[in-house]
Homo-oligomer: A and B are copies of this chain.
C-alpha cells in the first residue's frame, strides 16, 4: 500500500479529529475509499477508539431515492447512531462524480428536508471530511490518476502546525482590522470586517476546521458594507454548470450588476434564491501552498495558496459576534480569484499580501 495512505490516516485521526481512547467514531467509507478505511481503522485501533464503518455509496443512495415515493421520514436508528457518536470521519472517494445526476432535484430536496435533524446531529460531533484519490476525481480534475494522487497528498500531508502558526498571523491581522480592500484587474472591492472574527481553518477540530485538506483563513464581511467590483478568474462548477469569468458589482453590500462568460443563467438563479444570496457571507484567503493548481473541486480550490474566495449567501456563525445573525440565505456559493500576480490585499490601508507574497514572507 502507498505509505502516504497511512500518513493521511494519521493526519486525519491525530491532527484533524484528535481521536482519543474510548471515543465512539463513525467512519463513513466512500465507494472507492477502502484502502484509506483500512489505514484509518489501524490508526483508530491503535488509539483504542470504538469504530462503526458506514458505506457511503452514491449508487446505493441513488437506487434508494429513485425507488422511494418521496415521503421520506427520519431514520431513528441512524439518528441514534450519530447522537451517540463523538466523531464522524467522512472518507469521500467517488467512483463517478456524476453518479447521482439523474435524481430529480425535488427528490433530493425532499430527502434533504427530512434529514435536517440527522445532519445537525452529525455536525454536533467532531466531524472531519477528507478525500481519498479516485480515478473519477482525477478525471474531474483533468489529470492522470498518478498525477492526481500526488496532488492530493501534497495538499494533505503538510506540516499543519507550521501552517496553523502562519495562518494565525493572518487571523490576527483580520481580527485587529476594520476594512479589507482587494485590488487586481477588474477588481477593486472594499468591505468592513469590524467586529467580525476570522477562523484559522487549520484542518483540525481544535481550530473549528472540518476539512482535510484545509488551509484558509475566513471571516464574514459586514453584509451592507461591500462596495465595488470583483472579477473571479478561476473556473468553477456551480449547480452542476461550468461558470467562468464572473464579474460582480456591489453597492451597499448588494450585487447590483453581474456577468459571466459561461454559466450566467446559473449565476442569476443563485443570486435570485433569496435576498441574502445577493450579499456576501464569506471572505476567505487561501494559504495552502501544497495546492498548486485548480482541480474543479471546491474542497481543494478554495484552499489554494495565493487565492481568495468570496461566497454569496450564508455567513458562518463562528465569524459573528455572539447573538448576531449575519447574512442569512439558503445558499453559500464560493467563487475564487487568483491573487498571485498584479494584485494586493489591504487591511486598513496596509498591504498584507502583494502579488501572492504575504507581508511576513521573504521578497515582500
Contact = CB atoms under 8 A, between A and B. Distances in A.
Given A22-B73, A45-B67, A51-B75, 4 more contacts: A38-B59, A41-B61, A50-B77, A78-B81
A75 B52 CA distance: 8
Given A77-B81, A78-B81, A46 B26 contact: no
A95 to B, nearest CB: 9
A52 B64 contact: no
Given A64-B44, A67-B43, A34 B57 contact: yes
B67 A42 contact: yes
B31 A31 contact: no
Interface of A: 22, 24, 26, 29, 31, 34, 37-39, 41-46, 48, 50-57, 59-61, 63-69, 71, 73-86
Nearest to A67: B45
A53 B60 contact: yes
Given A34-B31, A48-B68, A60 B77 contact: no
A39 to B, nearest CB: 7
A64 B41 contact: yes
A17 to B, nearest CB: 15
A76 B68 contact: no
Given A41-B61, A77-B85, A69 B48 contact: yes
A60 B44 CA distance: 11
A37 B57 contact: yes
Contacts of A74: 50
Contacts of A53: 54-57, 60
Contacts of A56: 53
Nearest to A79: B84
A115 B57 CA distance: 27
B81 A80 contact: yes
A59 B81 CA distance: 23
Nearest to A75: B50
A24 B71 contact: no
Q: Identify which of A55, A80, A82 gathers the most chain B CB atoms within 10 Å of its CB.
A: A55
Contacts of A48: 68-69, 71
6 A-B pairs closest in CB distance: A45-B67, A50-B75, A77-B84, A55-B55, A80-B80, A45-B64
A52 B69 contact: no
A83 B78 CA distance: 11
Contacts of A64: 41-42, 44-45, 51
A45 B110 CA distance: 14
Contacts of A50: 73-78
Contacts of A86: 77
A39 B75 CA distance: 20
